[in-house]
Amino acid sequence: MALIADDFYIPTPTHPIVVSVADDPLSLLTSLPTLADRHAVSTRHLERLFKDDLGMSFVQWRTRRRLNRALMRIRAGATTPSAARSVGYSGSDGLVKAAGRITGLPRAVLTKNLATAIRDWREPPESFEAAAARSDSRATAAASSRT
């Protein structure tokens, strides 16, 4: 059984306010000023808390979180536009642009099959040299086991 892993790494928050925002499913759909008001802190303070706790801005965190959630939905059978809307984008265009900004992959590749393009980006194909070395080591092991 394979473990479910996020495509885009997000550190685990430790600060109570950041934990609260991260655990709130509506945080993906809510603006930073509104979230700051809910936690009785300034927008700037909440932004600093994210930067100090996670090493990334609120916007970077939310983008990664949205992409991870959308990709989970796509792999579960949702369409790309539906998955994009469910995490706060108005359609697949915003989701594809966000994925492109993080991965550097061209829009045409991401539009064709977003989930596959991201998976391939995370797990680049094995180089020829690595495949040849693996093949050579198997041949050597097989030859030595026959003697």
What distance in Å separates the CA atoms of residue 144 and residue 137, rounded to the nearest whole number?
Answer: 11
Band of pLDDT at residue 125, cut at 50, 70 and 90: low
Long-range contacts of 40-47 (CB under 8 A, 24+ apart): 41/17, 46/17, 46/21
Interval 34-89: pLDDT, tens: 999 999 999 999 999 999 999 999 999 999 999 999 999 999 999 999 999 999 99
The one-letter amino acid code at 12 reads: T
Output the pTM of the full model. Answer: 0.79
- Determine contact, residues 121/105, Cβ cutoff 8 Å: yes
**Nearest residue to 103 via CA among 93, 82, 117, 91:** 117
